[in-house]
Amino acid sequence: MFNKKGAEISLNTIIIAIIVIIVLVAVVFFFLYGFKGTTDKIKGIFFQGTAGTDRSLAIQFCNQYCDAAKEEQRTNSQKFIASDSAYCKKEFDILDPTTSVVKSGVHCNELISCTVSCA
């Protein structure tokens, strides 16, 4: 008879392994490169269009961010870093209704005053 010293792997197992490797490579590639355009489009639709064009709406968001930062500072004063809060990080593209010019990169501390210091 035959002298079998190694383990046998069926052909089905090899085919399934190759398919799994191809799928994993495709998924990794999609996560690394494919989501960038998709997430930018989604952000543009939901966040840029509503939060960035109207000054009064941006001020409302900034007031909420300020309140959240103050609460976080009150409850976690040892771990709180103001510059990491949405109040300090969020940028808006404000539309000037009189000139129809969009001013980009406006931070909350330029729109409202808050006791949270972003410096």
Beta bridge partners of 101: 96
- Are 45 and 38 a contacting pair, CB within 8 Å? no
Reduced to 3 states, what is the DSSP secondary structure of residue 10?
coil
Domain boundaries, the chain: 10-51, 52-119
Q: Is the pTM of the predicted complex or chain greater than 0.85?
A: no
Element (H, E) at 108: helix 108-111
Reported as a single tens digit per residue, the pLDDT across 6-46 is: 567 788 989 999 999 999 987 877 777 676 665 665 566 56
